Amino acid sequence: MDIYTHFVQWVECRGIVLHDIAATPFEGRGLGVRAQKRISAGATLLEVPFTALYTPESVPNPIRAAARQTRAHGLLAAALASNTPPAWSAVLPTRADLEASMPLCWPDALLFHLPPAASQLLKEQAAKLRADWASVSSAINHIKQRHYRYNWLLVNTRSFYFVPPTQRHRPPAPSNCLALNPFADCLNHSSTPSATVKPCGTSFVVSANTNIEADEEISISYGNHSNDFLLVEYGFIMEKNPWDEFLLDPWILARMSQAQINELDREGFLGSYILDRNTVCYRTQVALRLLCTSLDSWKNFLKGLDGTKNDERSYRDLLYQILEECRDHIPPTLAKISSFDDRFKSQKSTLTHRWNQIDLLVRAAMLQI
């Protein structure tokens, strides 16, 4: 019996119902879910009763009691690290796979070349892991740190938002509304998903939202996320991502005086300057106009008043210069990435591809100015 058949038998024993779908490895995407026959839009593909979920409430009492101050994420990771069912463990990504794909596990020399938004997200993620590990390791001494990190990343990449029915009148903090959802966690992400996942009654139900052909991979959406977010949180980037964007903060803030930084902070416009696939955000316009127009003109812009033609020309010229500086940063970054040895082949490939995506994003914006 192969590991996928064994896995399906295990999930079915937990009360999970599969309708004409199968767990299948896909080249370059890991384990996924495919249709075994043509499926019509609206058909139910998968039913996962809430009783089959792994939730903080289902964590064994000894672990819950020992690590009672730990967040849901950290608690679920401790439970997995202590005992993952063999049939499930056999189809999960290996530790080597996760350590290669997740920036949290990369050496600092590689992390230096992450895009700015990815670096920010990674710092926040690392702080959460440190806090969870500190809580768990002080209470449970049989779990090794590297093994805990591996299981923490499994939870990070595979958990679903879930509020237990008994807590819906007073739900916990969103960060504690987590559950591991066996088999549903095999569904890969797409910006054009073929299925949706919704709680319905006492189950999670996965339904087709379009016609699906036999042997076609079935996908869901993890949310409208940029590739930097997907890289840090899930360990992959999308080839085509309508929600992709690039953080311009390092290039804009480097031009600011302390007085200008204070002014932006007072008005609530300090940081988070975004270039998406269409244009720069309003926050970026505010910051750049502070740099290139008079203070009175800038305050009028905040009030929604139109500036002069000279103001507009100055803004566009400065935006072009900023984007040009971003592009100038890319070739030396790619050269440094390529200098790493082949122990980091997959990481090099991901970073190179990501910076090439950013180059296209920036170049497209420059052509519109």
Written as tens digits, the pLDDT of the chain (369 aa) is 699 999 999 999 999 999 999 999 988 788 999 999 999 999 999 999 999 999 998 898 888 887 778 899 999 999 999 999 999 999 999 999 999 999 999 999 999 999 999 999 999 999 999 999 999 999 888 999 999 999 999 999 999 999 887 777 777 788 888 999 999 999 999 999 999 999 998 999 999 999 999 999 999 999 999 999 999 999 999 999 999 999 999 999 999 999 999 999 999 999 999 999 989 999 999 999 999 999 999 999 999 988 889 999 999 999 999 999 999 999 999 999 999 999 999 999 999 999 999 999 999 999 998
Spatial distance between the Cα atoms of 332 and 34, rounded to a whole number of angstroms: 41
369: Cβ contacts below 8 Å, ≥ 6 apart: 316, 319, 320, 323
Q: Domain extents for the chain?
A: 3-91+138-225, 245-367
Spatial distance between the Cα atoms of 250 and 227, rounded to a whole number of angstroms: 18
**Considering just the CA atoms, what is the radius of gyration of the chain in Å?**
24
Spatial distance between the Cα atoms of 106 and 347, rounded to a whole number of angstroms: 8
Q: Helix %, strand %, coil % for the chain, to 5?
A: 55, 15, 30
Given a contact cutoff of 8 angstroms between Cβ atoms, the answer to whether 151 and 80 are in contact is yes
- Nearest of 136, 12, 123, 126 to residue 76 by alpha carbon: 136
What does the block give as tokens for 311? 């103001």
Pairing of strands 217-220, 188-189: parallel
Q: How many residues does the chain have?
A: 369
What does the block give as tokens for 167? 């807590």
Query: Hey, how many other C-beta atoms are within 10 angstroms of the C-beta on 218?
Result: 24
Span 3-91+138-225 CATH architecture:
Alpha-Beta Complex (3.90)
